Amino acid sequence: MPLGEATITVANLAARYLDGEVAPKRKPHTTALYVHYLNRFVIPKMGKIKADSVTRATVSKLHLRLGRTKQVTANRVLDTVSGMFRFGDRSGLLPPNFVNPAKNIEKFKETAHDCFLSGDELERLGAAIRAGETVGVPWEVDETKPISKHVQKTGRVTVISPFAAGAIRLLLFTGCRLRD
């Protein structure tokens, strides 16, 4: 372990985790969520604690407190904390035999939410499919992007194939879902 790293705080570990692991490997939206979870929930409660002295009880208490009102958020915060400590262990920022304090904490049960289109939404979708297979779907180009100078200037309409329209209708009428 590098000199002076034995006393890294949770706040410092979080900053290094975001810079060394999250930002280079995650999409910007996901990175923003990690930043939010750490800055909003973890650092205010544990930021000044030495990372190698965080206990499972400390993490569990945070998880339970969040779970009273925000069970999904509590689970995501737990995942983020666990990842942060895994990063600290892999990076040598924590002692060699350090045990991840977020490990083996039982998550809250999450329930899936079913979403159905209303009659009005189905009608608008049907009209869009009909328009797409007959007159086409117009599209625009962001003229400020460098590649936009090579894009055609007129006729920016795409007609979808009848097979694609039929596939969309089949999925709508049968209720098929991607991961069911």
All domains of the chain, ordered by start, with CATH? Answer: 5-90 (1.10.150.130), 119-174 (no CATH)
Which of 73, 72, 102 lies closest to 89, judged by CA? Answer: 102
Of the listed ranges 24-28, 40-44, 65-69, 146-150, the one predicted with least confidence = 146-150
> So what's the pLDDT on residue 1?
47
Judged by phi (left if over 0) then psi (alpha if -120 to 50, else beta), residue 103 lies in beta
Whole-number Å distance between alpha carbons of 92 and 89? 5
Whole-number Å distance between alpha carbons of 107 and 38? 18
Contact 75, 94 (CB under 8 A): no
Which of 82, 77, 19, 85 lies closest to 45, judged by CA? Answer: 77
Q: What angle do CA 88, 34, 68 make, to 5 degrees?
A: 105
* CA dihedral of residues 65, 68, 69, 74 (deg, nearest 10): 60
Name the more confident of 7 and 62.
62
pLDDT level of residue 176 (50, 70, 90 thresholds)? confident
> So what's the pLDDT on residue 140?
80
Token reading at 153: 């200037």
179 pLDDT above the threshold of 70: no
Q: Which residues contact 123 (CB under 8 A, 6 or more apart)?
A: none
Kindly state the percentage of the chain with pLDDT values over 90.
44
> So what's the pLDDT on residue 150?
67
> So what's the pLDDT on residue 4?
45
The mean pLDDT value for 52-68 works out to 91
DSSP 8-state symbol, 9: B
> So what's the pLDDT on residue 6?
53
To the nearest whole number, what is the mean pLDDT of the chain? Answer: 86
> So what's the pLDDT on residue 138?
84
The partner residues of 120 in beta bridges, in order of sequence, read none
> So what's the pLDDT on residue 13?
93
DSSP letter string, 93-123: -S-TTPPPTTTTPPPPP---------HHHHH
Whole-number Å distance between alpha carbons of 18 and 35? 7
Token reading at 73: 């958020």
- The structure's pTM equals 0.62
